[in-house]
Amino acid sequence: MNALESQLHYPFGDQMPEPGKTMEVVPGMRWIRMALPFALDHINLWLLRDEIDGRAGWTVVDCCIARGEAKAQWEEVFATQLQGLPILRVIVTHMHPDHIGLAHWLCTRWNAPLWISATDYHVARLNTQGTSGNGGEAAANFFRSHGLADPAALEQVRGRTNYYADMVPDVPRQYIRLLDGMHLSIGGRAWRCISGYGHAPEHIALYCEEAAVLVGGDMMLPRISTNVSVYDNEPEANALQLFLDSIDKFRPLPPETLTLPAHGKPFRGLHTRIDQLHDHHRQHLERVMEACRTLGPRTGADLLPVLFTRKLDLHQTTFAMGEAVAHLHKLWFDGQLQRRRGEDGVYRFALA
Protein backbone atom coordinates (compact mmCIF):
# COMPACT_ATOMS: atom_id res chain seq x y z
CA MET A 1 0.00 0.00 0.00
CA ASN A 2 1.08 3.55 -0.75
CA ALA A 3 1.97 5.14 2.60
CA LEU A 4 2.05 8.54 0.91
CA GLU A 5 -1.45 8.23 -0.50
CA SER A 6 -2.52 11.37 1.38
CA GLN A 7 -0.34 13.40 -1.01
CA LEU A 8 -2.84 12.57 -3.75
CA HIS A 9 -6.23 14.22 -4.12
CA TYR A 10 -9.37 12.15 -4.53
CA PRO A 11 -12.07 14.50 -5.88
CA PHE A 12 -14.91 12.05 -5.13
CA GLY A 13 -13.75 11.15 -1.63
CA ASP A 14 -15.03 7.69 -0.73
CA GLN A 15 -17.95 7.84 -3.15
CA MET A 16 -17.98 4.99 -5.62
CA PRO A 17 -20.57 3.30 -7.84
CA GLU A 18 -22.68 0.44 -6.42
CA PRO A 19 -22.38 -2.94 -8.16
CA GLY A 20 -24.35 -2.87 -11.43
CA LYS A 21 -24.57 0.94 -11.30
CA THR A 22 -22.39 3.71 -12.70
CA MET A 23 -21.17 7.07 -11.43
CA GLU A 24 -20.40 10.07 -13.61
CA VAL A 25 -16.80 11.29 -13.14
CA VAL A 26 -16.73 13.86 -15.95
CA PRO A 27 -19.66 14.76 -18.23
CA GLY A 28 -20.05 11.83 -20.62
CA MET A 29 -17.71 9.52 -18.68
CA ARG A 30 -19.04 6.99 -16.17
CA TRP A 31 -17.33 4.70 -13.67
CA ILE A 32 -18.23 1.02 -13.19
CA ARG A 33 -16.67 -0.96 -10.35
CA MET A 34 -16.74 -4.76 -10.38
CA ALA A 35 -15.63 -7.29 -7.77
CA LEU A 36 -12.66 -9.62 -8.39
CA PRO A 37 -12.08 -12.88 -6.47
CA PHE A 38 -8.42 -12.05 -5.70
CA ALA A 39 -6.40 -10.16 -3.09
CA LEU A 40 -6.87 -7.25 -5.51
CA ASP A 41 -10.62 -7.36 -5.05
CA HIS A 42 -12.04 -4.99 -7.68
CA ILE A 43 -11.49 -3.41 -11.08
CA ASN A 44 -12.70 -0.10 -12.49
CA LEU A 45 -14.21 -0.04 -15.97
CA TRP A 46 -15.24 3.06 -17.87
CA LEU A 47 -18.20 3.95 -20.06
CA LEU A 48 -17.66 6.86 -22.44
CA ARG A 49 -20.57 8.43 -24.33
CA ASP A 50 -19.81 8.04 -28.00
CA GLU A 51 -21.13 8.29 -31.53
CA ILE A 52 -19.78 6.18 -34.38
CA ASP A 53 -20.99 6.47 -37.99
CA GLY A 54 -23.93 8.58 -36.86
CA ARG A 55 -25.02 6.06 -34.21
CA ALA A 56 -25.19 7.18 -30.59
CA GLY A 57 -24.00 4.80 -27.87
CA TRP A 58 -21.15 4.01 -25.54
CA THR A 59 -17.52 3.00 -25.67
CA VAL A 60 -16.45 0.63 -22.91
CA VAL A 61 -12.90 0.63 -21.55
CA ASP A 62 -11.94 -2.76 -20.03
CA CYS A 63 -14.25 -5.67 -19.27
CA CYS A 64 -13.60 -7.74 -16.07
CA ILE A 65 -12.89 -11.49 -15.99
CA ALA A 66 -15.29 -14.01 -17.51
CA ARG A 67 -17.56 -15.24 -14.75
CA GLY A 68 -21.26 -15.20 -13.96
CA GLU A 69 -21.14 -12.47 -11.34
CA ALA A 70 -19.47 -10.01 -13.72
CA LYS A 71 -21.89 -10.85 -16.53
CA ALA A 72 -24.83 -10.28 -14.19
CA GLN A 73 -23.44 -6.88 -13.24
CA TRP A 74 -22.99 -6.00 -16.88
CA GLU A 75 -26.61 -7.04 -17.55
CA GLU A 76 -27.76 -4.62 -14.89
CA VAL A 77 -25.62 -1.88 -16.42
CA PHE A 78 -27.12 -2.59 -19.86
CA ALA A 79 -30.65 -2.51 -18.46
CA THR A 80 -30.38 0.56 -16.27
CA GLN A 81 -27.31 2.67 -17.11
CA LEU A 82 -27.03 3.00 -20.89
CA GLN A 83 -30.00 5.35 -21.42
CA GLY A 84 -31.33 2.86 -23.95
CA LEU A 85 -28.21 3.16 -26.11
CA PRO A 86 -25.96 0.35 -27.36
CA ILE A 87 -22.30 -0.44 -26.69
CA LEU A 88 -20.53 0.64 -29.88
CA ARG A 89 -16.94 -0.39 -29.17
CA VAL A 90 -14.81 -2.17 -26.60
CA ILE A 91 -11.37 -0.78 -25.80
CA VAL A 92 -9.02 -2.98 -23.78
CA THR A 93 -5.97 -1.37 -22.16
CA HIS A 94 -4.04 -4.68 -21.97
CA MET A 95 -4.33 -8.46 -22.03
CA HIS A 96 -4.54 -9.28 -18.33
CA PRO A 97 -7.65 -11.34 -17.49
CA ASP A 98 -9.41 -8.68 -15.41
CA HIS A 99 -9.22 -6.32 -18.38
CA ILE A 100 -9.90 -8.56 -21.39
CA GLY A 101 -11.81 -11.51 -19.86
CA LEU A 102 -15.29 -10.54 -21.02
CA ALA A 103 -14.24 -8.73 -24.23
CA HIS A 104 -15.35 -11.63 -26.39
CA TRP A 105 -18.73 -11.77 -24.65
CA LEU A 106 -19.25 -7.98 -24.87
CA CYS A 107 -18.15 -7.73 -28.51
CA THR A 108 -20.35 -10.64 -29.52
CA ARG A 109 -23.37 -9.45 -27.62
CA TRP A 110 -23.24 -5.91 -29.02
CA ASN A 111 -21.65 -6.73 -32.39
CA ALA A 112 -18.99 -4.21 -31.37
CA PRO A 113 -15.33 -4.17 -32.41
CA LEU A 114 -12.42 -4.72 -30.04
CA TRP A 115 -9.73 -2.01 -29.94
CA ILE A 116 -6.40 -3.08 -28.41
CA SER A 117 -2.65 -3.03 -29.11
CA ALA A 118 -1.50 -5.71 -31.56
CA THR A 119 0.95 -7.19 -29.07
CA ASP A 120 -1.62 -7.66 -26.33
CA TYR A 121 -4.21 -8.98 -28.77
CA HIS A 122 -1.90 -11.73 -30.00
CA VAL A 123 -0.56 -12.67 -26.56
CA ALA A 124 -4.14 -12.92 -25.30
CA ARG A 125 -5.10 -15.16 -28.20
CA LEU A 126 -2.12 -17.44 -27.63
CA ASN A 127 -2.79 -17.64 -23.91
CA THR A 128 -6.46 -18.54 -24.40
CA GLN A 129 -5.26 -21.51 -26.42
CA GLY A 130 -3.47 -22.82 -23.37
CA THR A 131 0.08 -22.55 -24.70
CA SER A 132 1.20 -20.53 -21.71
CA GLY A 133 -0.61 -18.21 -19.37
CA ASN A 134 1.44 -18.07 -16.19
CA GLY A 135 1.67 -21.77 -15.52
CA GLY A 136 2.91 -25.15 -16.70
CA GLU A 137 6.35 -26.72 -16.88
CA ALA A 138 8.10 -23.67 -18.39
CA ALA A 139 6.88 -21.38 -15.62
CA ALA A 140 7.90 -23.91 -12.94
CA ASN A 141 11.38 -24.21 -14.48
CA PHE A 142 11.71 -20.45 -14.62
CA PHE A 143 10.78 -20.04 -10.95
CA ARG A 144 13.10 -22.89 -9.99
CA SER A 145 15.97 -21.23 -11.88
CA HIS A 146 15.38 -18.21 -9.65
CA GLY A 147 15.53 -20.21 -6.45
CA LEU A 148 11.93 -21.22 -5.74
CA ALA A 149 12.50 -24.62 -4.16
CA ASP A 150 9.23 -25.46 -2.38
CA PRO A 151 8.05 -28.64 -4.17
CA ALA A 152 4.38 -27.97 -3.36
CA ALA A 153 4.52 -24.47 -4.85
CA LEU A 154 6.33 -25.71 -7.97
CA GLU A 155 3.81 -28.53 -8.36
CA GLN A 156 0.95 -26.04 -8.19
CA VAL A 157 2.58 -23.82 -10.82
CA ARG A 158 3.14 -26.86 -13.03
CA GLY A 159 -0.51 -27.83 -12.73
CA ARG A 160 -1.80 -24.37 -13.46
CA THR A 161 -2.06 -24.70 -17.23
CA ASN A 162 -5.56 -23.31 -17.67
CA TYR A 163 -5.01 -20.34 -15.44
CA TYR A 164 -5.48 -17.72 -18.16
CA ALA A 165 -8.08 -19.51 -20.27
CA ASP A 166 -10.31 -20.00 -17.22
CA MET A 167 -10.68 -16.25 -16.90
CA VAL A 168 -10.38 -15.46 -20.62
CA PRO A 169 -12.13 -18.27 -22.49
CA ASP A 170 -11.85 -16.56 -25.87
CA VAL A 171 -11.01 -13.30 -27.64
CA PRO A 172 -12.68 -11.90 -30.77
CA ARG A 173 -11.28 -13.05 -34.09
CA GLN A 174 -10.74 -9.49 -35.28
CA TYR A 175 -9.46 -6.34 -33.66
CA ILE A 176 -8.63 -2.72 -34.41
CA ARG A 177 -5.07 -1.86 -33.58
CA LEU A 178 -4.16 0.81 -31.05
CA LEU A 179 -0.69 2.33 -31.42
CA ASP A 180 1.33 4.80 -29.39
CA GLY A 181 0.55 8.38 -30.44
CA MET A 182 -2.60 7.43 -32.32
CA HIS A 183 -5.60 9.71 -31.86
CA LEU A 184 -9.13 8.44 -31.66
CA SER A 185 -12.34 10.37 -31.41
CA ILE A 186 -14.68 9.29 -28.62
CA GLY A 187 -17.88 11.30 -28.23
CA GLY A 188 -16.43 14.12 -30.32
CA ARG A 189 -13.36 14.46 -28.12
CA ALA A 190 -9.85 13.55 -29.23
CA TRP A 191 -8.05 10.90 -27.17
CA ARG A 192 -4.37 10.03 -27.56
CA CYS A 193 -2.94 6.55 -27.01
CA ILE A 194 0.11 6.34 -24.72
CA SER A 195 1.87 2.98 -24.78
CA GLY A 196 3.44 1.55 -21.65
CA TYR A 197 5.74 -1.40 -21.03
CA GLY A 198 6.93 -3.48 -18.11
CA HIS A 199 3.48 -4.47 -16.81
CA ALA A 200 1.93 -5.98 -19.93
CA PRO A 201 3.40 -6.54 -23.39
CA GLU A 202 2.03 -3.25 -24.81
CA HIS A 203 -0.38 -1.46 -22.50
CA ILE A 204 -2.36 1.47 -23.91
CA ALA A 205 -3.46 4.36 -21.70
CA LEU A 206 -5.76 7.03 -23.15
CA TYR A 207 -5.42 10.75 -22.63
CA CYS A 208 -8.01 13.42 -23.48
CA GLU A 209 -6.55 16.92 -23.43
CA GLU A 210 -9.92 18.66 -23.75
CA ALA A 211 -11.31 16.94 -20.66
CA ALA A 212 -7.90 16.71 -18.91
CA VAL A 213 -8.56 13.02 -18.21
CA LEU A 214 -6.15 10.09 -18.31
CA VAL A 215 -7.57 6.58 -18.47
CA GLY A 216 -4.49 5.08 -16.87
CA GLY A 217 -5.33 1.35 -16.89
CA ASP A 218 -2.78 -0.45 -14.71
CA MET A 219 0.09 1.92 -15.52
CA MET A 220 -0.90 4.62 -13.03
CA LEU A 221 -2.49 3.30 -9.82
CA PRO A 222 -2.84 5.48 -6.71
CA ARG A 223 -2.73 2.95 -3.91
CA ILE A 224 -0.80 -0.15 -4.95
CA SER A 225 2.26 -0.18 -7.16
CA THR A 226 1.74 -1.79 -10.55
CA ASN A 227 3.06 -5.34 -10.77
CA VAL A 228 6.26 -5.34 -12.80
CA SER A 229 7.38 -8.88 -13.56
CA VAL A 230 9.80 -10.93 -15.59
CA TYR A 231 7.99 -13.99 -17.04
CA ASP A 232 9.26 -17.33 -18.27
CA ASN A 233 8.51 -16.58 -21.94
CA GLU A 234 10.88 -13.58 -21.86
CA PRO A 235 13.36 -14.58 -19.16
CA GLU A 236 15.96 -11.87 -19.88
CA ALA A 237 13.54 -8.93 -19.79
CA ASN A 238 14.41 -5.65 -18.09
CA ALA A 239 10.78 -5.06 -17.11
CA LEU A 240 11.40 -2.55 -14.33
CA GLN A 241 13.43 -0.24 -16.57
CA LEU A 242 10.66 -0.44 -19.18
CA PHE A 243 8.06 0.43 -16.56
CA LEU A 244 9.98 3.40 -15.12
CA ASP A 245 10.65 4.79 -18.60
CA SER A 246 6.96 4.31 -19.46
CA ILE A 247 5.51 6.20 -16.50
CA ASP A 248 7.79 9.12 -17.35
CA LYS A 249 5.78 9.44 -20.58
CA PHE A 250 2.92 10.82 -18.43
CA ARG A 251 5.07 13.68 -17.09
CA PRO A 252 4.22 16.15 -19.91
CA LEU A 253 0.49 15.93 -19.03
CA PRO A 254 -0.90 18.92 -17.12
CA PRO A 255 -0.90 18.80 -13.28
CA GLU A 256 -4.71 19.12 -13.09
CA THR A 257 -5.15 15.86 -15.05
CA LEU A 258 -7.76 13.55 -13.50
CA THR A 259 -6.41 9.98 -13.61
CA LEU A 260 -8.95 7.17 -13.88
CA PRO A 261 -7.06 4.09 -12.63
CA ALA A 262 -8.08 0.46 -13.16
CA HIS A 263 -7.80 -0.17 -9.41
CA GLY A 264 -8.40 2.34 -6.61
CA LYS A 265 -10.11 5.72 -6.83
CA PRO A 266 -9.90 8.49 -9.47
CA PHE A 267 -7.22 10.93 -8.38
CA ARG A 268 -5.34 14.14 -9.09
CA GLY A 269 -1.62 14.39 -8.40
CA LEU A 270 -0.27 12.48 -11.38
CA HIS A 271 3.24 13.96 -11.07
CA THR A 272 3.40 13.24 -7.34
CA ARG A 273 2.42 9.64 -8.07
CA ILE A 274 5.08 9.30 -10.79
CA ASP A 275 7.69 10.50 -8.28
CA GLN A 276 6.32 8.16 -5.57
CA LEU A 277 6.60 5.16 -7.90
CA HIS A 278 10.20 6.06 -8.79
CA ASP A 279 10.99 6.40 -5.06
CA HIS A 280 9.25 3.12 -4.24
CA HIS A 281 11.29 1.18 -6.78
CA ARG A 282 14.51 3.02 -5.87
CA GLN A 283 13.99 1.91 -2.26
CA HIS A 284 13.36 -1.68 -3.36
CA LEU A 285 16.50 -1.62 -5.50
CA GLU A 286 18.48 -0.35 -2.50
CA ARG A 287 17.11 -3.19 -0.36
CA VAL A 288 18.17 -5.71 -2.99
CA MET A 289 21.69 -4.19 -3.11
CA GLU A 290 21.85 -4.18 0.68
CA ALA A 291 20.85 -7.87 0.85
CA CYS A 292 23.48 -8.79 -1.74
CA ARG A 293 26.09 -6.70 0.10
CA THR A 294 25.45 -8.12 3.56
CA LEU A 295 24.25 -11.66 2.85
CA GLY A 296 26.20 -12.55 -0.29
CA PRO A 297 24.87 -13.76 -3.64
CA ARG A 298 21.05 -13.81 -3.70
CA THR A 299 18.41 -15.58 -5.77
CA GLY A 300 15.04 -14.15 -6.69
CA ALA A 301 13.37 -16.35 -4.05
CA ASP A 302 15.86 -15.12 -1.40
CA LEU A 303 14.52 -11.62 -1.97
CA LEU A 304 10.83 -12.31 -1.32
CA PRO A 305 11.07 -11.51 2.42
CA VAL A 306 13.31 -8.53 1.60
CA LEU A 307 10.78 -6.98 -0.79
CA PHE A 308 7.47 -8.22 0.64
CA THR A 309 6.65 -8.07 4.32
CA ARG A 310 3.17 -9.60 4.03
CA LYS A 311 2.53 -13.34 3.83
CA LEU A 312 2.10 -14.48 0.23
CA ASP A 313 -0.27 -17.12 -1.15
CA LEU A 314 0.70 -19.00 -4.34
CA HIS A 315 -0.93 -16.46 -6.65
CA GLN A 316 0.95 -13.66 -4.88
CA THR A 317 4.19 -15.67 -4.70
CA THR A 318 4.33 -16.03 -8.49
CA PHE A 319 3.75 -12.28 -8.93
CA ALA A 320 6.33 -11.57 -6.22
CA MET A 321 8.91 -13.86 -7.85
CA GLY A 322 8.47 -12.06 -11.18
CA GLU A 323 8.83 -8.74 -9.40
CA ALA A 324 11.97 -9.83 -7.48
CA VAL A 325 13.60 -10.94 -10.74
CA ALA A 326 12.62 -7.61 -12.36
CA HIS A 327 14.54 -5.75 -9.62
CA LEU A 328 17.56 -8.06 -9.91
CA HIS A 329 17.57 -7.64 -13.69
CA LYS A 330 17.54 -3.86 -13.57
CA LEU A 331 20.59 -3.89 -11.28
CA TRP A 332 22.21 -6.50 -13.50
CA PHE A 333 21.55 -4.48 -16.69
CA ASP A 334 22.84 -1.36 -14.89
CA GLY A 335 26.08 -3.19 -14.11
CA GLN A 336 25.61 -3.05 -10.34
CA LEU A 337 25.08 -6.79 -9.98
CA GLN A 338 26.54 -9.73 -11.84
CA ARG A 339 24.78 -12.99 -12.48
CA ARG A 340 26.09 -16.55 -12.13
CA ARG A 341 24.24 -19.77 -12.79
CA GLY A 342 25.20 -22.49 -10.31
CA GLU A 343 25.54 -26.20 -11.01
CA ASP A 344 22.08 -26.54 -9.48
CA GLY A 345 20.76 -24.40 -12.41
CA VAL A 346 19.90 -21.52 -10.08
CA TYR A 347 20.81 -17.90 -10.89
CA ARG A 348 22.53 -15.98 -8.10
CA PHE A 349 23.21 -12.27 -8.24
CA ALA A 350 26.21 -10.70 -6.49
CA LEU A 351 27.77 -7.24 -6.29
CA ALA A 352 29.66 -6.49 -9.49
Residue ranges that bind Zn ion, judged by CB under 5 A: 96, 218
Distance CA 339, CA 348 (A): 6
In the 8-state DSSP scheme, what is residue 134?
S
**Beta carbon of residue 97, minimum distance to Zn ion (angstroms, whole number):** 9
**Beta carbon of residue 249, minimum distance to Zn ion (angstroms, whole number):** 17
**Beta carbon of residue 54, minimum distance to Zn ion (angstroms, whole number):** 35
Closest CA relative to residue 78, chosen from 53, 102, 47, 100 = 47
* Backbone Cα Rg of the chain: 20
3-state DSSP assignment of residue 277: helix
The count of residues in the chain is 352
**Beta carbon of residue 141, minimum distance to Zn ion (angstroms, whole number):** 24
Distance CA 310, CA 78 (A): 39
Q: Specify the residue, 262 or 301, whose C-beta has the smaller distance to Zn ion.
A: 262
Q: Specify the residue, 109 or 223, whose C-beta has the smaller distance to Zn ion.
A: 223
Closest CA relative to residue 91, chosen from 238, 206, 210 = 206
Residue nearest to Zn ion (CB): 96
**Beta carbon of residue 95, minimum distance to Zn ion (angstroms, whole number):** 8
Q: Specify the residue, 101 or 187, whose C-beta has the smaller distance to Zn ion.
A: 101
Q: Specify the residue, 81 or 226, whose C-beta has the smaller distance to Zn ion.
A: 226
**Beta carbon of residue 1, minimum distance to Zn ion (angstroms, whole number):** 18
H or E element, residue 56: strand 55-61
Distance CA 352, CA 348 (A): 12
Q: Specify the residue, 96 or 284, whose C-beta has the smaller distance to Zn ion.
A: 96
Are 264 and 273 spatial neighbours (Cβ–Cβ below 8 Å)? no
Are 325 and 319 spatial neighbours (Cβ–Cβ below 8 Å)? no
Q: Specify the residue, 299 or 316, whose C-beta has the smaller distance to Zn ion.
A: 316
